[in-house]
Structure 1
């Protein structure tokens, strides 16, 4: 199946939803470049999940600097030569900042964000993966990441709701909204092929894929 018109695809969604795994499989299928988040490099992340008020600002600023550097490198790529698949959208930094920072911290963060935000190409397609907070909890437990062990269920509920609001208003690129509750894109080739078919058949700026 051919998806040549999509030169820059972003897979997004809350923690534990499977965006990195899908991005990796898509990149392999398309023989494209792969641009991934690097959460393990954030020295504040594990502490953040244990004490959000104390570590939200340094954790968020680390991610902002990291992602801005990655997006700057993306802007220099020749996407006509090779497509790119990524597992993060720089705009979603605002989502996390609004969720975790105090008012004063958020004001400071916004000043830094406006100063730092690089000019980056908009995605040709965003695949937004959804799952219930209960499912996210189970998936996080299964993968056993050390820096995610202290994530609270309350935080995941708030994060999932914030993602829903964010993408409800998102109009910068076409969005395929995928309910991933009953889908396994890594181990089930049929699920992956169905997703590719849905993408091929997209006609509007917003489509939904839900396998009951």
Structure 2
């Protein structure tokens, strides 16, 4: 499938895997618009990292409504003539909710999610980036966002496991699974071109890209 044939590409993966950086670069390369998460706009996020139990529900609700609004705006655009690259699937929102919310909070969240999810636009390609937890921690450390310093190995492990289970059964769009441990698609042109070639050569519903050391 030619790269110009994709109208809406989404890049997903756990915290620190490089999805936003790659989404920006891919959007620039394809000369299309980007739809990116805005975590800095969430007034509860820093508090959540300090006290997850107290601020999980507020943090999760803010992100849910923020993502829904972004996708509503996308749905109102002309998807036949306007192309996008995003760095989130709405379906990933419940993965975080199940890791952080207490039982009653989760029930409330899921009721709202089921009501709002109908506004989500489905991509025609999802790129799922994977990397080991130690790699994620190193990348989080290097980008040096103070409030992320408290993210634990255990949380990232559980998050990565949640992503793996989710994408194991994912079939809503063609899926390209990329092992991003030994790739630097942001700075290495060879790695980035390899990704582009795999996107262009996608056939069927699932493909893999794994470049070792």
- Residue 161 of structure 1 is matched in structure 2 by 161
Q: Which residue number in structure 2 is paired with residue 109 of structure 1? A: 109
Map 1:72-111 → 2, pairs under 5 A: 72-111=72-111
Structure 1 CA distance, aligned partners of 2:22 and 2:202? 18
Q: How big is the shift at 1:119?
A: 2.2
Report the equivalent of 2:131: 131
1:6 Cα offset (Å): 0.8
Aligned partners of 1:158, 1:152: CA distance in 2, in Å?
A: 10
Describe the superposition over 1:111-136 as per-residue Cα deviations: whole angstroms up to 9, x where unpaired: 11122334232100000000001000
Equivalent residue runs for 1:1-212 within 5 Å: 2-212=2-212
Tell me the CA shift for residue 196 of structure 1.
Answer: 0.6
TM-score normalised according to structure 1 size:
0.96
Counterpart CA distance in 2 for 1:121 and 1:112 is 17
The answer to whether the 8 A contact 2:175-2:205 is kept is yes
CA distance, structure 2, for counterparts of residue 110 and residue 103 of structure 1: 11
Runs of 5+ consecutive residues of structure 1 not aligned to the other structure: none
Q: Distance in 2 between matches of 1:158 and 1:33?
A: 32
The CA deviation string for residues 8-60 of structure 1, in whole angstroms up to 9 with x for no partner, is 00000000000000000100011001010000111111121222222111110
State the SS of the aligned residue for 1:53: helix
SS at match of 1:193: helix
Q: Which runs of 5+ in 2 are unaligned?
A: none
* Aligned equivalents of 1:120, 1:106: Cα separation in 2: 20
Aligned residues between the structures: 212
Q: Which runs of 4+ in 1 moved over 4 A?
A: none
* 1-10 or 118-127: bigger deviation: 1-10
Check conservation: 1:68, 1:118, Cα contact below 8 A. no
Give the TM-score normalised by the residue count of structure 2. Answer: 0.96
Moved more, 48-57 or 179-188: 48-57
Q: Distance in 2 between matches of 1:203 and 1:2?
A: 11
- Please give the alpha-carbon distance, in whole angstroms, between the structure 2 residues aligned to 1:39 and 1:56: 14
Residue pair 1:26, 1:85 contacting (<8 A) in 2 also:
yes
Contact 2:25 / 2:186 at 8 angstroms: preserved in 1? yes
After superposition, give the CA deviation of every residue in 1:40-92 in whole Å (9 maximum; x if it has no partner). 11111112122222211111000001000000001011122221000000111
What is the distance in 2 between the residues matched to 1:112 and 1:195? 36
